[in-house]
Amino acid sequence: MTKGERRDRQRRKKKHMGVDGSSVKLLDQITRRKSKQIREQRKEYGDPAEFTDDSTED
* Whole-prediction pTM: 0.31
Sign of CA dihedral 9, 58, 47, 49: negative
Tell me the per-residue pLDDT of 12-49, one tens digit each, with 9 for 90 and over: 665 555 555 556 666 677 777 888 887 887 777 765 55
